[in-house]
Structure 1
Amino acid sequence: MKIGFRVIKTAIGTGLAIAVASWIGLKFYSSAGVLTILCLKETRKRSIESAIEKMISCIIGGLFAAVSFKLFGFTPWTITLILLMVIPVLVALKAKDSVATSSVVILHLYMLHKVDGMTLLNELGIIVVGITFALMMNIIMPSAEKQLKAYQEQVEAYFKKIFMEFVIYLRQGESDWDGKEILEVHKVLQEAKDLALKDIENNLRYNDNHYFHYFEMREKQFEIIQRIMPLVSSLDETYEQNYMIADFLENLAHAIHPGNTVSIYLDELQKMRQKFKTSPLPQDRKEFEVRAALFHFVNEMQRYLLIKKALFDQHTKRKKNQWSLFIKKEKTSNEGS
């Protein structure tokens, strides 16, 4: 049995919410703990969104209940009427997940058989205490940097392995590789992107994350790798061009890292393409088909490299925009002073 950090925060936050609500003297104080549990989500952003949603739904439920109980009395049929009005409103506001929370407020008022300022203030107190402790618990968030870095290294190791298997096949015309890395890298990329997205939602001051963009880039490159696999497997005979591409892939495999060395390999691809054009014509149909497949392979590898180049171009552009914004703010500040 494993107890995660979120479980610990939920348990502590719930206990504190109930204790504070009881100490203040609120009726139904245990409901503050329930609200803490419901509002404490995986990320800060989701917790804030949930807190706002539940606050609004509780207020709406309380207002509808107050008016309805005053007009029609404290009967089960009045609760039916209230829910018939409240639920469609919450669904329209895209807060259907908070129907149960709103119902708690309605049932509190029904059980007290009283609607006045103090009763409504009691319900507001429960809401505020429960939500406050949920948000307080989510101030503490473990850093995902170490795990994201581990995912990054894992993806790069898989890419290197795949390329080296391509190299073996291009040079020897056969391989006993089972291709398990293809399945593994797909799984790791999905997990890494999910974690990177959570990391973005935990950092409310900005919505950018270089790891998320990095794994998106690797995902697009992986699509190209999947496309060229059948192409490589069809090359069952070796020619001079096979060795040229194999040498290129071997160098590229050893250079798989987060840094920007794309221009070097784009230049190598261009030189290789020129060599292909100046090579003697194919001697037979089989050689023609293989060389055509190799030329297509080179084009796909160019797309592979351009995907990473686009990532660095966007990163450079964002940095320039941030710097320009900083300079503009400094200039405005100096002019004002």
Structure 2
Amino acid sequence: MKQIFLNTLKITFAAVMAILIARLLKLEFAVSAGIVAILSVQPTKKETLKTAFSRFLAFAVALVISGLLFNFCGFTVPVFFIYLAVFILICQWRGWISSMAMDSVLISHFLSLGKTGPSEILNEVLLFVVGVGFGILVNIFLHKKTDYIEELKNQTDEKIKLVLHRMSLRILNPSFADYDGTCFDSLNQNLFIAKKQAEENFNNQFTSRDTFDTRYLLMRENQTKVLYEMFKCVRHIKTVPGTAQMVADFLEKVSVEYHKDNDVQSLLTELEEIRNKMKTVPLPVHRAEFEDRANLFTLLERLQEFLEIKRDFYLNNIN
């Protein structure tokens, strides 16, 4: 709601300023500059610039078409209808859909003025420039939502830590309540929102093309996929094998040390030591425990993959 209110103020400011500047320049139909400003604001800076460029090309075409038709066929409503048909056809062909209404509003002024002389054309060009200019200016102040994306990233990390923590508890308690994987619904939803925000932040940059947030969230998404495979291993465990305690303790340690600046190298080293210890433990007598120890060993293989994803990301992003 706060963001909606702020965007409303920014867009209104752009429209008002465009109208005031147009009036200051003594332009005819000054209010149209405000309408152009409103129509020029897009969700991101990148989209605003792209739209402004396409509308400039479309406006140039509209000036040529209207100039020829009005001067050769007269300044009448039927001629304006012909202009609309030709211009809309070209806009659809070129993909300038968003330009049809805005540019046609400006061209309609020629019908009211009854001429397309240099001063009339200059008037419309200035209305266009002032309106689009303030539309772009508004988006310059639509900064990256740095605090919000950091909050989303932290929420994602906390949810992953919770999954690891619950996993460590479930290994030591096969009857652990509500171990049904629903926590992944919340985690995946959080990842989806965070990725959308990272994309919006990326498109709200004019020059710096920072992709760190996008790459960070992709890394967490890949880890989540592996984490789900780990969850399936744990869910199939029906007993508490002799090796369960060391695995549970290590999972808890990973959850505690799970943060964005950890290179996980020490965790990988400790994981290898645990796997070697597990190999020295005598084989179980009962089949159920044998199967559960196999699940624990598979779990550790997935855990190694989970940690290696983070290690590789860390190594690739050292400044």
Same fold (TM over 0.5): yes
Counterpart of 2:230 in structure 1 is 228
**What whole-Å deviation, never above 9, does each CA across 1:138-180 have from its counterpart, x for those lacking one?**
2323452222222222222211111111111001112124655
Letter in 1 for 2:300: V
Letter in 2 for 1:70: N
Counterpart of 2:127 in structure 1 is 126
4+ residue runs over 6 A deviation: none
Counterpart of 1:324 in structure 2 is none
Counterpart of 1:326 in structure 2 is none
Counterpart of 1:205 in structure 2 is 207
Distance 2:305 2:70 in 1: 67
1:109 aligns with 2:110: yes
Which of these residues, 177, 188, 191, is aligned with residue 189 of structure 1?
Answer: 191
Distance 1:204 1:12 in 2: 21
Query: For residues 256-267 of structure 1, what are the structure 2 equivalents within 5 Å?
Result: 256-267=258-269
1:49 aligns with 2:37: no
Counterpart of 1:162 in structure 2 is 163
Counterpart of 1:74 in structure 2 is 75
Q: Which moved more, 1:258-267 or 1:162-171?
A: 258-267
Identity of aligned pairs, percent?
A: 27
* Structure 1 residue 182, shift from structure 2 partner: 2.3
Query: For residues 168-187 of structure 1, what are the structure 2 equivalents within 5 Å?
Result: 168-177=169-178, 180-187=182-189
Distance 1:125 1:33 in 2: 12
Per the normalisation by structure 2, the TM-score is 0.90
Number of residue pairs matched by the alignment: 317
Letter in 1 for 2:165: M
What is the CA RMSD across the aligned residues, in angstroms? 2.2
Distance 1:299 1:95 in 2: 53
Partner-residue secondary structure (3-state), 2:98: helix
Residues 184 and 235 of structure 1: is their aligned pair in 2 closer, same or farther, counting only changes over 3 Å?
A: same
Counterpart of 2:277 in structure 1 is 275
Partner-residue secondary structure (3-state), 1:114: coil
Counterpart of 2:97 in structure 1 is 96
Residues 68 and 212 of structure 1: is their aligned pair in 2 closer, same or farther, counting only changes over 3 Å?
A: same
* Structure 1 residue 315, shift from structure 2 partner: 1.4
Query: For residues 17-36 of structure 1, what are the structure 2 equivalents within 5 Å?
Result: 17-36=18-37
Counterpart of 1:59 in structure 2 is 60
Residues 69 and 174 of structure 1: is their aligned pair in 2 closer, same or farther, counting only changes over 3 Å?
A: same
Give 5+ residue unaligned stretches, structure 1. Answer: 320-337
Counterpart of 2:309 in structure 1 is 307
Letter in 1 for 2:292: V
Contact 2:198/2:213 (CA < 8 Å) preserved in 1? yes
Contact 1:57/1:101 (CA < 8 Å) preserved in 2? no
Letter in 2 for 1:157: E
Letter in 2 for 1:129: V
Partner-residue secondary structure (3-state), 1:96: coil
**What whole-Å deviation, never above 9, does each CA across 1:72-115 have from its counterpart, x for those lacking one?**
33344433433333234333433222222222233222333322
Contact 2:45/2:136 (CA < 8 Å) preserved in 1? yes
**What whole-Å deviation, never above 9, does each CA across 1:33-79 have from its counterpart, x for those lacking one?**
11111112233222222222222222222222112222333344433
Per the normalisation by structure 1, the TM-score is 0.86
Contact 2:18/2:34 (CA < 8 Å) preserved in 1? yes
Contact 1:165/1:177 (CA < 8 Å) preserved in 2? no
Contact 2:143/2:204 (CA < 8 Å) preserved in 1? no
